[in-house]
Structures are given as C-alpha cells and as structure tokens.
Structure 1
C-alpha cells in the first residue's frame, strides 16, 4: 500500500543536489489505498506532501513558505529525506501552520489531489480516512470513545455533545481534540479493518445449537451490566477503575495480554467457522491484523456468563486496550 520506498529512492538521488522532481504521472485514483492501515501520520493518498518537501526547489518552496523556513528545510533534506510530518515538524520554525502551507503547495503543484483532505492536527488525512473518522465519531458509544481518548476526557465529551459531524475538519476543530486525539480516533477507525472483516464473516456464519458472536466496536459497560435476565454468574473483571467495576464482580489483579485476547478469539472462531465457511484469506488476514494490534499490549475488561432462559447459556470475554481503547468482544453460546 505504501509508496514511500519509491519516493525515498528518488529523494536519495535528487534531494542533495537540489533538483526538482515532477509530480507523479500516475493518475491519483491509482495511487489510492483503501484506508490507512498502519500508525503513520501521512495517508497513502497524501504522500505527495513529503515528495514535495523533499524534492521541490528552493524557489518553488519559497512561494508557499517564508524564506528562512525554506532554508531550514532544504538544509535538513540534504542530510536525509523527510519520512513523516513529525520529521518535517522537527525542523526549526515548522509547526502546524507550516505543514498546512506545505500541503497547499503540494496541491497547487500537483503532488496531491482531491483524495487527500490535507493536514489536520499534524495528520495528513485522506478522503477515505476522513469518512471513516466521521462515521466512527458519529456512532461510537460513550464508553468506547472515552477509552479511545483516555487523556482527552473533555475532548470526548465535546465530541459526544456536538455530533453528528459532517467533516473531519469539524472534529479537528472541536475543543480538546489535538494531534494525539485525532490520530487515536483515526487509528480506531481504520487500523483494524482486516480483523473487522473477519468478525463480520464469523457473525454471518450459520449457527446451530452453538454459535459465536464477536464485536470490535461496542459499549462494554452496557454489555456487562444488562445481559442475562435469567442467570448471571462468574463475573471477573480486571484493570477497571473501582467505580467502574460492576456490582458482584470478582476483581483479579492481573491485566489481560495478547495471548488471552487471541485465545478468546480463537475459541469463538472455532465455533463460528466449524464448517469452514469463512475464506482462509479472510481468517489469516484478520488474525494477523489482530496479532499486530495486540502484541505487547495490556487490556482491561471482564469475563462472565449469562443466560436468557434455563435452556441456553453465554460465555463472554471483553478486552479493552488500556492506552488506545482497541476493544474486542467474544460471546460463545449454546441453546437446547
């Protein structure tokens, strides 16, 4: 998906001697990726911003930036090409306003097209990422949004009070939302799509007397406290604030890790895919995505059982990343 390696190869040849590259002749539509899939600050559709700052002549950059800023950028790129917006921002006199000016210059010079929204809060956002961000913010539950923004409580509250939004710019402009917050929201909206595709396939699989349900975005508090009109037992929680532990829960001292999350998903998947109805490519891509997002992470959550009647039962596991709010729910069930 990423076109950075090719751009850096070109930059390595031309940046040091001050030559200016022409914008790619490849149609913008062919340069697009489905969604940003890794935690970077430049979407694939916006990579032209970096190409522009790495290759445009002093005279061209000077059309969009103060000369002293241009001098600093050109001096820096002679030693190594810029590989991210954070890298560009490390240059003296460059901040958010200069990044926006660079994006404007890149657009005017044909390095980016309409598929790149521009730079917001230090993040170069594509139109597809923007749509995913708006959709997530407009639909996410209160508990999950606060978990995605653990250090921006006021920002989360302001988003909840102001939605629905129609643009990513309006989300960026919301009080309490900055670089870390917008990037966290983007990551929550885009980075787990292969795993979400696996979840959708598993939930669509035929069920019999046993079945499984999984979710990526959900209100964990609502799920823990309202399920089970007939029976409720074995509630064990971990990593929750004392005020967030449901009544009657046993609190275990250790957080969950990646292995525990993967084990719960494997158990649900074994039931959902017992007839091998899910394409192997969807399974492998989804599990690889899950592994990448959970490796080395710690999770709060709960495990419990419940039943809606005497002739059925559910076993539920809920995991929420303690830092970025990445969440997974598995519910395996049986019925007579």
Structure 2
C-alpha cells in the first residue's frame, strides 16, 4: 500500500504547461551544454569505436573511396599530428560536418571496422544498438515535465517529440524538427548514463518492506504530477529553485539550491532503509552510488521536500531533485506504517 512510487508517483502521463513558457536558446546556455566531452559523456559508443580506428588508420585510397579527396587530405594531414579521439575531434577538421561523418561511418562499416551493434552516426553521436533502444524507450515514455528539464533550451523540439511519439528508431528522433546535436546528446545521456544507479534503484524497490519501515526510489518520473497530487493527508512542502509559476500551492520556498552532498545524503538514506538486511549485493550498491556521485558532482538541483499519508496509520516523506541544467533527476520516498 505504501510503495506508491511504483504506481501513482511513477506515472508518466503528460502535463502541458508545468511552468514557464517556451524559451529560446541563448548562446550562454548552449555553450554550457556543449562543454567538452568527459569520460562518461563520450560521442562514440564502444561498439562504434571502429569508426575512429577507420579514420585514424585507413589509407588515403581507402578513405578516398568514401570521401571527397580534399576532405581526405585534411583528415590525413590532421591525424599525422595526433590521432582522432572523438567525433567532435573529427568534425573539427575543415570540410567535415554531419554528412561527412555519416560517410566515414559507412566506410567503416563497408571495410569491416564496425558491425551491426553500431547503429551509425546521427547528430554528432555514434550510437550502439543498446543506446539507441534506450533512447527510443525513454522518449516514448518520458513525462512532459522531465523532457523539458532534459531539453531546457529546445522547447519546440520537446513539444514535437511529445506530439509525434511513439518512435521506432533513434534516427527518427534525430530527424524531428528542433532536435539537434545538443538535444540528442542530452536525451542520450538521460537514457544511458545512469544505468548502475537505475539498477540499484530497481534492487532497492524490490526488497520487501521490513516491519514498519521501507523506502522506494525513482530515476525517471513526472515531478510536477508528484508535487501536485492530492493525498489523504499532506504535510508541509518546501521547494527550491522552481520558477514562480511552478511552485505548488501552499509550498514554502527556500532561497538556495540543493548540492551534490544533499542529493547523495537523501539517496543513501533511502537505500539504507530499503536495504535493511543487506539483501542488495554490495557490488550493486557501490556501483550505483558511484554512478550517482559521478552524475551529481559539482551540480545544482531544484526540487521539493514534502510528506503525505495514505491513511491515519502511515506516513511518507518524499524528496525530489532535478539538475537545473541537464534535467538529471532522482526521487526518494521513505515511509512507515503501524
């Protein structure tokens, strides 16, 4: 009865107008999202690494079979000084854009450098079949509020995705008006970069409630639906970082955002409550928490705290955190019952 994160709190229905109006991209926000790639935010999936091997090692005549000669000349001259380490690196070469990246990928496939587990290149990303499937699944199920948090500077693109889904391929998503390199990268990251954390969350949610206490967690959810739902009895709500139009009725507003330490403390506490008898393998816990740390380090979060009850004999405490830039979100719900 109290695992509401598995039902009402995790519902992924649409909510249009969850705060604010459609915004235009700014050079500052785009520059922030187009920061250099990190080890966890690469633009070439492991299954597609052969694309880089191909462009780094193929002979001039081989490359010339798939690309214009002046492009090949530029690529060969550049790789003579340092090998290419990413698609962004390749596309920094003069005359190399998205169309040339696709031709390079086609050449890599024809020459046997990549196989069927690499879907190909789209919007500056080389996606594996697993990543493509995860991306499609997320776009087909994500809530309106979460999608707009993941794409804060592409509201038209987000609206188009919601109106045109369901999709059957990552390429179809890439082709949607308003979805470009930054947007597809943000969606890919949201769909794939928290897998160890999501495995920990699934394990924690599967542990049976022990006595009067328990906990649930969620990674993908409709935070607006959660904070505006009506419960049998609802306690005080404190929110932070929300636009004035998105602050739920009756909530108090604190003047500062949440940081990584605050998010980690809430998740760690919920995992500890759920894992009351160490039923979750320690490797799952350590991998999940390490993944969480990697996603939240140095980040700032908006969100809310509130309590509610289903009946007079139970109580729940909910914490919601949403990254203010990339939309990464996590929710915890700890509960007790008599």
* Post-superposition offset of 1:178: 0.4
Structure showing greater relative contact order (alpha-carbon pairs closer than 8 Å, 6 or more residues apart) = 2
- State the distance in 1 between where 2:191 and 2:179 align: 16
Residue among 219, 236, 239 paired with 1:237: 239
* Post-superposition offset of 1:227: 4.4
Q: Provide Cα deviations, 1:23-46, integer angstroms capped at 9, x if missing partner.
A: xxxxxxxxxxxxxx9210000010
2:116 counterpart residue number: 114
- State the distance in 2 between where 1:169 and 1:289 align: 28
Runs of 4+ in structure 1 over 2 Å off: none
2:330 counterpart residue number: 328
2:146 counterpart residue number: 144
Residue among 225, 247, 250 paired with 1:248: 250
- The 3-state SS of whatever aligns with 1:194 is helix
- The 3-state SS of whatever aligns with 1:81 is coil
Q: Does 1:77 align with 2:102?
A: no
1:211 counterpart residue number: 214
- State the distance in 2 between where 1:250 and 1:308 align: 22
1:228 counterpart residue number: 231
1:257–1:296 CA contact under 8 A, matched in 2: yes
Residue among 149, 155, 160 paired with 2:162: 160
- State the distance in 2 between where 1:300 and 1:107 align: 44
- State the distance in 1 between where 2:62 and 2:234 align: 68
Q: Provide Cα deviations, 1:129-187, integer angstroms capped at 9, x if missing partner.
A: 11000000001111101111111001000000000001111000000000010011111
Aligned positions of 1:41-190 closer than 5 A: 41-190=43-192
- State the distance in 2 between where 1:318 and 1:199 align: 14
- The 3-state SS of whatever aligns with 1:166 is coil
- The 3-state SS of whatever aligns with 1:334 is strand
Number of residues of Structure 1 aligned to a counterpart in Structure 2: 299
Higher-Rg member (1/2) = 1
Q: Provide Cα deviations, 1:64-88, integer angstroms capped at 9, x if missing partner.
A: 1111110000000000000000000
1:227–1:306 CA contact under 8 A, matched in 2: no
- The 3-state SS of whatever aligns with 2:136 is helix
Provide TM-score, normalisation by structure 1.
0.88
1:311 counterpart residue number: 313
- State the distance in 2 between where 1:200 and 1:189 align: 15
- State the distance in 2 between where 1:271 and 1:228 align: 23
Segments of structure 2 that go 5 or more residues without pairing to the other structure are 1-38
- The 3-state SS of whatever aligns with 2:267 is helix
- The 3-state SS of whatever aligns with 2:67 is coil
2:287 counterpart residue number: 285
1:42–1:85 CA contact under 8 A, matched in 2: yes
- State the distance in 1 between where 2:139 and 2:57 align: 36
1:20 counterpart residue number: none
1:258 counterpart residue number: 260
- State the distance in 1 between where 2:74 and 2:327 align: 38
Segments of structure 1 that go 5 or more residues without pairing to the other structure are 1-36
- State the distance in 1 between where 2:46 and 2:268 align: 32
Provide TM-score, normalisation by structure 2.
0.87
